[in-house]
Structure 1
Amino acid sequence: MATQRTITKPPKSPVPDPVEPAPCQPCGGTGNVAITVRVGRKRRPVGQQDGLCLNCLGSGSGTDPDS
């Protein structure tokens, strides 16, 4: 008679602790980024203005959707 195989199940792993998402790289979680304003025929920079972060769409949640 053949030997009987016994298969053991791996132990159930505990539920991992929720990991806090990493802040968005371009805006650092503020939702705003500085955009350079250019004027003139040669497009010289004259200053900066606030713009929405396109990575998190200005939500200010500070979470990067890619991570």
Structure 2
Amino acid sequence: QVQQQGGINIPQNTPNVTAQQARDVATATARGLWWFVFGSLLGLLASLIGAAAGARKPRTYN
């Protein structure tokens, strides 16, 4: 480990990653995040539809 200014230890055996590999990882991560956002919005839409449908059909307790 190498100690830099400020007392931070940096390991010397860091993996060698090319710029292209870093771009590939960033692209895959961004694509995954978009699918997560898309799924979250679909879930939100489904919950809003369910809430609206439930509000139109109130339960009757006898």
Same fold by TM-score, threshold 0.5 exceeded? no
More strand by share: 1
What is the TM-score of this pair, normalised by structure 1?
Answer: 0.28
More helix by share: 2
What is the TM-score of this pair, normalised by structure 2?
Answer: 0.29
